[in-house]
Amino acid sequence: MDLGRIATAMVTPFQENGDIDFEAAGKLIEHLLSNGTDSIVVCGTTGESPTLSMDEKLQLIRFTVEKVNKRIPVIAGTGTYNTKETIEMTKKAENLGVDGVMLVAPYYNKPNQRGLYAHFEAVAKETALPIILYNVPGRTGTNIEAATTIALSKIPNIQVVKEASGNLDQMAEILAKTDEDFFVYSGDDALTLPLLAIGGKGVISVASHVVGNEMQAMIRAFKEGRLDEAAKMHQALLPIFKQLFKCPNPVPVKYALGKVGFSVARVRLPLVEMTEEEKRQFDEVWEHVKQSI
């Protein structure tokens, strides 16, 4: 499965009454298509999936598939801490026409490595779709160790891992011990360039909502051997990457989208919007970075 260099983990816009704002979602999809996004992940963490009901997830997946209309791949986040429910959600997403699914490591119940393998294997057996493993220990409390990812890569439809462990050594081991048709993507915008340097494919990004073209330019410079230029672009973008995670994701990126014409700052509890001081700090960094890139 080719996600391209940048897959955007899309936010979910909400109306004032808290319902999904499909009109805003449609406009956002068009914005992403025009601003550096090679594929879209819907109903991921950045889409506030923990607060979306199954019906809402299915509505949003259906809408995104129809709106994108095969212009780029659409990936649905279908993973939960419940294997049976994950299989059910994955099958429903498959029926809606997604190009692949992303499965987060089961959270809260904290399975061991054998349990993680068994969970992903069970889901893979029930779908023909390509699967992205999503390793984010900071959210799940469990790290999918390199050996487990390497073993899972032998299952034909498990084709990608989104590594948000922040551990480049772990990513390097996965790259060294998996086949060339298994891809490692960064789950952290700030590690996009470092991961590319050790053989990774790209990033499943939050920042691409607002600096997608700039990130593509950085990646292009790296791929074309303009390493100093790529490094300078990384350095210029790094303050934005950091600001986008100063508050719980996706609160800052929803605020940042206001800078490019999208009024989508509303989030669902237990998340809350940024304070005025947090906004001021973000604005300072935003203005500085936009002048330097």
To which residue do tokens 């960064």 refer?
186
Is residue 162 among the annotated active site residues? yes
Q: Which residue among 67, 162, 201, 254 is the active-site one?
A: 162
- For 64, other C-beta atoms within 10 Å of its C-beta total 26
Separation CA 26–CA 276 (nearest Å)? 29
To which residue do tokens 């500085």 refer?
288
Q: Which residue among 117, 134, 185, 255 is the active-site one?
A: 134
Look up residue 88 and give its amino acid. E
Measuring CA to CA, how many Å separate 235 from each of 88, 192, 194, 213?
Answer: 43, 12, 12, 16
What backbone torsions phi and psi does residue 206 show, to the nearest 5 degrees? -100, -45
Q: CA nearest 161: which of 176, 144, 177? A: 144
Is residue 134 among the annotated active site residues? yes
Q: CA nearest 65: which of 39, 104, 34? A: 39
Separation CA 82–CA 119 (nearest Å)? 9
Rg (CA), the chain: 18
Q: Which residues are catalytic?
A: 134, 162
